[in-house]
Amino acid sequence: MGDMGVVACFLIFSLLRLSSAEISSKIGINYGTLGDNLPSPNRSVVHIQAMKAGRVKLYDANPEILQLLSGTKLQVSIMVPNNEITNIASNQTAADEWVVINVLPFYPNTMIRFLLVGNEVLSYYSDQDRQMWYDLVPAMHRIKNALKAQNINNIKVGTPLAMDIMQSSFPPSTGMFRHDLVDTVMVPLLQFLHDTKSFFFIDVYPYFPWSGNPSHISLDYALLKGNVRYMDPRNGLIYTNLLDQMLDSVIFAMTKLGFPGIRISISETGWPTAGDVDEPGANIRNAATYNRNLIQKITAKPTIGTPARPGVVIPTFIFSLYNENRKSGPGTERNWGLLRPDGTSVYGIDLTGKQPLSDYAPLPRARNNMPYRGQVWCVVARGADLMKLRPALAYACGEGNGTCDALAPGRECYEPVSVIRHASYAFSSYWARFRSQGATCYFNGLAVQTTRDPSRGSCKVPSVTL
């Protein structure tokens, strides 16, 4: 880099540090509502305040919650759902109406500070989804115009993206966005964020790269313990945790496209407290360790930042307030919460960062930090609704490929004739056949993984070998 480049980077970095003085480092919480056993919005807002969160992020613009947040000191983030993006992108009237309906009744008494357009839009790949990629930035422009028309200038417009936007992220200095996104989405998005002085919102979970490669990535490095060091061979920057490494890869990717000064916000991060058999490291001990270390890092005075941007505040939202039992997918999806559905803490946590780590009560021992090796089956969960089992059984068997041939009358698994036994066979057989294509052992909450073989006599239940 030439002298002028060095000077330019120094000036940008200095401006970022100055602008950080205006940004609160208080920890935010993601408040999702995909559960059928969660506390009321009123109780939830009370919980959020009692936890001394500084911000709350919603996945919609729920009017009841927004009204309850009125008069609190919580900074609020609201969201345009993915399915409304395309209409708004081509219709300024639709954008204007969205702001009139979802912002004006609550602002400014409810301190709405972020308006996010969509959620992880670039992580979906159907033809319809790809159209939404191209509609994303136009929709953001129209929402920003709608806010300006109402003389609202202190709400930042952005969009939260996942780390799968990266073509390369290791070492951090090689960070690049996916080739299929650069010209069509990323450059227009970065130009918008630059012009409006908004944030690049990124959902960043060290759990996923670690759990996908636990033999090559140190768990301590993923948990922000600070006792492992890695030097980027291209620029000599020293990393002590995986979170910084992931964040800086995004910063370097933005810089390569000519946008070195856009601020970062962590729109989601956290660690799961439980998961399926094939999800190592999902336990209370690791979750508490990660989130406590995260809070200490983000709220530290003076501000720590990252190796590429030391001293720069990173607005951060922990995922999530509750365990949400209606989320589909792997077991971890339902186990990110700081609180149980009854409002009690899953583990001790101080969002202000003032409580010393040594003051917390002892945590339960981690029993699944090493990947499980052996057979796993997918069976009916204890307490499953029998009325819901029949259609789930029909679905699993209806996928063909011999999934349920052994359940036919006269075959080896037909007797005893039991909905639970037949469903367990069907779930496990389906999962074994289609896991490589993304199938999970969930079936709308009716199934769980087990390492206990449910086979009986001549009926051998298919399994997955890990």
Catalytically active residues are 120, 268
Length of the chain: 466
Q: Nearest Cα to 381, choosing from 465, 444, 334?
A: 444
Q: Which residue has the tokens 């922990």?
A: 318
CA distance 431 to 437: 10
Q: Is the dihedral of CA 244, 250, 255, 260 positive or negative?
A: negative
Q: What is the DSSP string of 225-269?
A: -S---EE-TTT--EESSHHHHHHHHHHHHHHHTT-TTPEEEEEEE
Give the CA distances from residue 224 to residues 250, 292, 312, in Å, rounded to whole numbers and listed in that order: 19, 9, 18
3-state secondary structure 176-219: EECCCCHHHHHHHHHHHHHHHCCEEEEECCCHHHHHHCCCCCCH
First to last CA, the chain: 48
CB neighbour class for 457 (10 Å; exposed up to 12, middle 13-18, buried from 19): exposed
CA distance 211 to 25: 29
- The amino acid that residue 433 corresponds to is R
Q: Which amino acid is at 277?
A: V
Cβ-based burial of 358 (10 A; exposed 0-12, middle 13-18, buried ≥19): exposed
Residue 412 C-alpha from the chain's centroid: 43
